[in-house]
Structure 1
């Protein structure tokens, strides 16, 4: 693995220690190691841990519990563990970035170590160092991104991104004055969490409807979004609604910045929305869902300005409707102004160069 990937990063204080890891993963030697539960355990124990890093930590634990006696068995068990993690979630984009990066690291390391036990020990120690440094890269991203926020700026963000939150908080700490519009980001409504976080930090934040983006874009100076993954051509995979936000920003001639950690780079090359390796709802098949939604609109009184509540049956139908919609979308590189990463500020075309360095050198 390229040393450049972890250059100039600092160790984060809240990094999970080996002791805390062992308390999360308590597996009897007589039982088969459950990598999915291990992954979920990391996420529950530390809500701020990125999914790619939780996936890498889970693979490190798999190495610790591996009973493989040959290198081929060992590599196969890691690949199967990676596939199991990916299949355990509806949206494996962010998780896949971590597993693919670590498997590449394992493949390259295994060629340099002849003894399997020594190889396992080396991978576990190197993996822990990798995790410690990878978690801390948000600090560097925030430092680099502050330059794009000017005094008295109006910023528009989408959904909730930890690295975007850290960037905005860092800008506020640098005494920059700015205001933030936050999309509600249905169906998760994570924009409400973003607004709450920003207000606690003393940053003025207003939540807007997803459908109000075109209305407010004229007052906006720049758009900042996070990412679940960045693909080979510099395109972005992020929370549903990011693509249409980018289209509006492009039409209004507003800069659109993606803020992310480089361990979210993915070796994918989607050509359209339907090439993503996620659960793809059958939106184009027009099943009974269309009539059911019409019935909901006819009967529900949610947001009718009269304060009426929605019946439980109607709420269940709404949730069912949402489950049949995508959770992420793909934003092509031509809509992205710059990507702010721990490897530096990149143009979309520069992502492929960095992927080559990560995976080939």
Structure 2
């Protein structure tokens, strides 16, 4: 698929879900590198940097996207020729795509251990990782029931209930604002994440924070299922994750909006759930409390504060 086409599909949410976005982006980088018609190393590096910037700019909140792109682009460190660069990008891209797919399976196996026979589960949005936990528990023979939210305004909940229905799992489809009405019927909340900060705060689809607060009030445990590449290294430096605000038309018909000159439609795509409202974060390397998020960033992703200086040096070299 062409680079610009992939970027537009990510921007328009035709490609959605943090894992799918990340895999599509690195595949686009791999294909772009393979198709570049140049024998000049500097030109190759500049073109790859431009491609990376284009992809990262499409969705500012989904940390999996810049993490994936950076993991692939880091493979260009020290390359001395175009063919070496192409090979490095291909190897890094293929490795990321494979590990990303396996990560969802491993998260499902680990997450299913926290689901008991007879549990009623509430989930929000359409998370591969969260669904993997639920579907794995079902395949293990656990009798479970699910409440799935509608997920306004893009209705991603329709994708979730389709997957649950296809698996034969009894499912209740509810509007987002009905969560409080049913939380006392729920044993466990499982959501995904688009980003996790150094202090364990979870950035996920809008409405997650309200669900977490409701679950906390009801003393219902909340699990977040997320691949390790969704942890946000730059939050070590105090950088905030940008919350994407999408177009008015997703919420209100433009013809109606045009007749309301004093009304401003706000459409944030994500919100932030403080770590104190999350009981466990389930990753492919194990389940951790939110307070251990820094250890994932430092020990698994390899991002201590010192690593940022190295990354900036690589970035400066590519831009030269």
Q: 1:213 aligns with which of 179, 182, 202?
A: 179
Between the aligned partners of 1:177 and 1:249, the Cα distance in structure 2 is 22
Residue 97 of structure 1, CA deviation: 3.0
Contact kept in structure 2, 1:259 and 1:340, CA below 8 Å: yes
The whole-number CA distance in structure 2 between the counterparts of 1:46 and 1:251 is 31
Q: State whether residues 193 and 225 of structure 2, in contact with CA within 8 Å, keep that contact through their aligned partners in structure 1.
A: yes
Q: Is residue 226–residue 258 contact of structure 1 (8 Å, CA) maintained in 2? A: yes
Question: Who is 1:69 aligned against?
Answer: 40
1:338 aligned residue: 280
Aligned residue number for residue 68 of structure 2: 98
Q: 1:235 to 1:126 in 2, by over 3 A?
A: same
Cα distance, 1:350 vs structure 2:
1.9
SS of 2:235's partner is coil
Q: 2:316: which partner in 1?
A: none
| 2:6–2:25 contact (8 Å) kept in structure 1 | no
Equivalent residues in 2 for 1:323-334, closer than 5 Å: 324-334=266-276
The two structures have a TM-score, normalised by structure 2, of 0.79
Q: Map 1:48-197 onto structure 2 (within 5 A).
A: 50-66=20-36, 67=38, 69-71=40-42, 73-89=43-59, 92-103=62-73, 105-106=74-75, 110-111=77-78, 113-197=79-163
> What TM-score, normalized to structure 1?
0.71
Q: Is the 8 A contact 2:7 2:58 kept in 1?
A: no
- In structure 1, C-alpha distance between the alignment counterparts of 2:203 and 2:236, rounded to whole Å: 10
The equivalent residue for 2:312 is: none
Q: Deviations over 1:311-361 (max 9, x none)?
A: 99559989xx89631111111211111111112112212221121231349
Distance in 1 (alpha carbons) for counterparts of 2:89 and 2:47: 14
Task: Summarize the Cα distance change of 1:101–1:229 in structure 2 as closer, same or farther, 3 Å threshold.
Answer: farther
Tell me how far apart the structure 2 counterparts of residues 125 and 233 of structure 1 sit (CA, whole Å): 32
Task: Quote the offset at 1:170 in angstroms.
Answer: 1.2
1:36 aligns with 2:8: no
Change (3 A) 1:345 1:211: same
Instruction: Compute the displacement of 1:281 (Å).
Output: 7.4
Which piece of structure 1 moves more, 113-122 or 247-256? 113-122
State which structure, 1 or 2, has the greater radius of gyration over its C-alpha atoms: 1
TM-aligned CA deviation for residue 70 of structure 1: 3.2
Q: CA 1:214–1:46 in structure 2 vs 1: closer, same or farther (change >3 Å)? A: closer
Unaligned 5+ segments in structure 2 are: 308-320
Distance 2:159 2:114 in 1: 23
Indicate the residue corresponding to 1:359 in structure 2. 302
What's the offset of the Cα at 1:203?
0.6
Match for residue 266 of structure 1 among 232, 235, 238: 232
1:161-208 C-alpha deviation (Å, 9 max, x unpaired): 122222211111100011111111111222233123212211111012
Where in structure 1 are there 5+ consecutive unaligned residues?
1-23, 26-34, 283-288, 297-310
Of 165, 179, 195 in structure 2, the residue corresponding to residue 229 of structure 1 is 195
* Offset at residue 265 of structure 1 (A): 2.0
